Amino acid sequence: DGGITQSPKYLFRKEGQNVTLSCEQNLNHDAMYWYRQDPGQGLRLIYYSQIVNDFQKGDIAEGYSVSREKKESFPLTVTSAQKNPTAFYLCASSLSWTGWGAGANVLTFGAGSRLTVL
């Protein structure tokens, strides 16, 4: 079955360490996204990618970095510059970045990665 796989599900980090969250999709979607979820605050967009080798900052990109070397993969690195990294991170994809046809802007989400800074 097609879907999005995020790993690891749980991750613990010491202060000052960088960590990378994996996101892989087999839906043949062009667009991919990273969201951060904090209790009671909904989801906030960190980075998004329209196509391979291209990505854009979202609303809260400071302290994060991404790459999009393959269509299927969109890893997120939480750097030591992120002041409050403890959160639940969700990766998503959509059929296309632009376009309003059927399903074009419907996001499919992974199961998330929970990062805790010790």
Partner 1 sequence: AQKVTQAQTEISVVEKEDVTLDCVYETRDTTYYLFWYKQPPSGELVFLIRRNSFDEQNEISGRYSWNFQKSTSSFNFTITASQVVDSAVYFCALSVQQAAGNKLTFGGGTRVLVKP
Applying CB under 8 A, which residues contact partner 1?
31, 40-45, 48, 50, 58, 88, 90, 92, 94, 96-98, 100, 104-112, 114
How far apart are CB 71 and partner 1 at their closest, in Å?
17
Pairing of strands 76-78, 108-109: unpaired
Cβ at position 16, least distance to partner 1 in Å: 27
Task: List strands edge to edge, sheet with 4-7.
Answer: 4-7, 19-25, 76-78, 64-66
CB of 80 or CB of 104, closer to partner 1: 104
Residue 92's identity, in one-letter code, is: A
Alpha-carbon distances, residue 95 vs 35, 43, 56, 88, 92 (angstroms): 17, 20, 17, 24, 11
CB of 80: closest distance to partner 1 in angstroms?
Answer: 26
Residue number, 67 or 96, with CB nearest to partner 1: 96
Place of tokens 């990294």: 85
Choice between 32 and 117, CB closer to partner 1: 32
